[in-house]
Amino acid sequence: MVSVTFVTSQGEKIAAQGEVGQRLLELGQARGMPLEGTCEGQMACSTCHVIIAGDWFDRLPAAVDDEEDMLDLAAGVTRTSRLSCQIELTEALDGLVVHVPAEARDMQGR
């Protein structure tokens, strides 16, 4: 199991247990985080945008160019932003802390 803590835009911490190989997006959705994931991991939306807590960002595999391009369109992007559909849980990510931005919503909604 991989322990992940989601931090909501209100600062509430939600502990979650994911499986190795599960996508961070799916785990967040399962715990009720407001991550729409409209394109279901096709890197064609940015509604799965999350902000990775500082220490953890450098431990993730780097984003590919398509992910960077999509992130440019997300609201409230930071230096440690990622698309949660592109992050696969591994044992190395046990303890991961992820902030869920308040701006996460469908692109048409902005």
Strand 81-83, strand 49-52: pairing: antiparallel
Measured distance CA(34)–CA(77) in Å, rounded: 16
Measured distance CA(11)–CA(65) in Å, rounded: 30
Which stretch, 8-16, 46-54, 87-95, 100-108, contacts ligand FES (CB under 6 A)? 46-54
Contacts with ligand FES: how many residues (CB under 6 A)?
A: 15
Q: Which is nearer to ligand FES, 11 or 89 (CB)?
A: 89
Contact between 52 and ligand FES by CB under 6 A: the answer reads no
Contact between 38 and ligand FES by CB under 6 A: the answer reads yes
Cβ proximity of 51 and 24 under 8 Å = no
Measured distance CA(78)–CA(27) in Å, rounded: 22
We find the least distance from the C-beta atom of residue 88 to ligand FES, in angstroms, to be: 13
**Which residue has the closest beta carbon to ligand FES?**
85
Phi, psi for 17 (deg, rounded to 5): -120, 115
Which stretch, 10-18, 45-53, 92-100, 102-110, contacts ligand FES (CB under 6 A)? 45-53
